[in-house]
Amino acid sequence: MPGAEYTDETGILYRMQHILSLNEQAQVRTAAQLADIGYQAACHVTRPGRHRFRNLCCLHLRADVARRRKR
């Protein structure tokens, strides 16, 4: 194109990448809620002096019980 001038507009693309769609916002929110639930469960079963594998077994047992209650 005669007389056309090219300018660097990549900044707008970078700004667009930082804007989340409503679906992406919901996914981030759900992931944060799941992480919070997992953290709370881990805090609930962890005891001072208890071996980490025992804590892990208690966490899995609680998850299994919760899953069976939903059925």
Domains of the chain: which residue ranges?
A: 10-70
Residue 1: the pLDDT is 67
What is the distance between the alpha carbons of residues 2 and 23, in angstroms, rounded to a whole number?
A: 43
Residue 32: the pLDDT is 93
The SS3 call for residue 10 is: helix
Instruction: State yes or no: pLDDT of 7 exceeds 80.
Output: yes
Task: Judge residue 42's burial from the number of C-beta atoms within 10 Å of its C-beta, 0-12 exposed, 13-18 middle, 19 or more buried.
Answer: middle
CA-based radius of gyration for the chain: 24
Which residue matches tokens 């594998």?
Answer: 53
Question: Each residue of 22-70: pLDDT tens digit?
Answer: 998 899 999 999 889 888 888 888 888 888 888 888 878 877 777 788 7
